[in-house]
Amino acid sequence: MAGAEAHHQHRDVQGGWLRPAVFGAMDGLVSNLGLISGVAGSSASSQTIVVAGMAGMAAGAFSMAAGEYTSVAAQRELVLAELAVERAELTRHPEDELAELAGVFEARGVEPGLAREVARQLSVDPEQALEIHAREELGVGPADLPSPLVAAASSFGAFALGALLPVAPYLLGAASLWPAVLVALVGLFVCGALVARVTARPWWFSGLRQLALGAAAAGLTYLLGTVFDTAVG
């Protein structure tokens, strides 16, 4: 038949590496654009803005990396502990675990006798049995555990890259805030457009939305910097 071989593909709903990288870069862009906008609003010199921007980049990148490492490591340790419990149960109470797995298949509409036979065959290999039980009960497989080091390194790099963009025009000799704002807003639009790869939104909508949010953050912090400068002065 003409359409017998037709297939369809789904988006990566977890975002893969793109989602954390893009959002890390956007975080760096928005936070550092806001920081240097606030400092610029206080009539600070270009040198002061550069120092503030580089300090914000370093502090934010290290903070992101440390937070991501701690979060992923804690999650990994929790899952490993639960996997150890499941492995011990499979060794001590194999019949109970077999019945539990058969019950899962029955709940999905499989005939009881067939469900038990499928569970029995899948449980022949202990590692396969562990993976199936883990996916059914924990929602994650032993091979899917993220690396804390990779998570920390990617967060550090993405945030630092995003945070560097608003500072780059000053490093290249700019004397006003506008080149930094322009570069940052272009970067935010690109990041927003990339996010559309893991959503159903059009690329231009995601790009403009992120650009608007970044512009609002920069405008508000610039205004606050002006107010604080006036109050202190």
* pLDDT for the residue 59: 95
Task: Judge whether 10 lies within some domain.
Answer: no
pLDDT band (50, 70, 90) for residue 8: low
Q: What is the pLDDT of residue 1?
A: 45
- Domain for residue 232, yes or no? no
Q: Which of 75-79, 143-147, 194-198 has the highest mean pLDDT?
A: 75-79
Which of 151, 149, 150, 129 is CA-nearest to residue 141? 129
175: nearest Cα among 47, 56, 51: 47
Task: Give dist(CA 129, CA 86) in Å, integer.
Answer: 10
Question: 43 versus 10: which is more confidently predicted?
Answer: 43
Asked if pLDDT for residue 212 goes beyond 60, the answer is yes
Q: Is residue 97 part of a domain?
A: yes
Domain count, the chain: 1
Mean pLDDT, range 143-171, rounded to an integer: 91
3 occurs within a structural domain: no
Rounded mean pLDDT, 160-185: 93
Residue type for position 100: E
pTM, entire model: 0.76
Residue 7 lies in a domain: no
Domain for residue 13, yes or no? no
In a domain, 129, yes or no: yes
Say if 233 falls within a structural domain.
Answer: no
Residue 14 has pLDDT above 60, yes or no: no
Owning domain of residue 49: 18-227
Interatomic CA distance for residues 69 and 75, integer angstroms: 10
Residues 6 or more apart in contact with residue 167 via CB below 8 angstroms: 32, 36, 49, 50, 53, 54, 57, 180
Q: Give the whole-number percent of the chain exceeding pLDDT 90.
A: 34
d(CA 137, CA 231): 58
Q: If pLDDT is split at 50, 70 and 90, which confidence band does 47 have? A: very high
pLDDT band at 15 (very low <50, low <70, confident <90, very high): very low
Q: pLDDT band for position 137 (50/70/90)?
A: confident
**Predicted confidence (pLDDT) at residue 98 exceeds the cutoff of 60:** yes
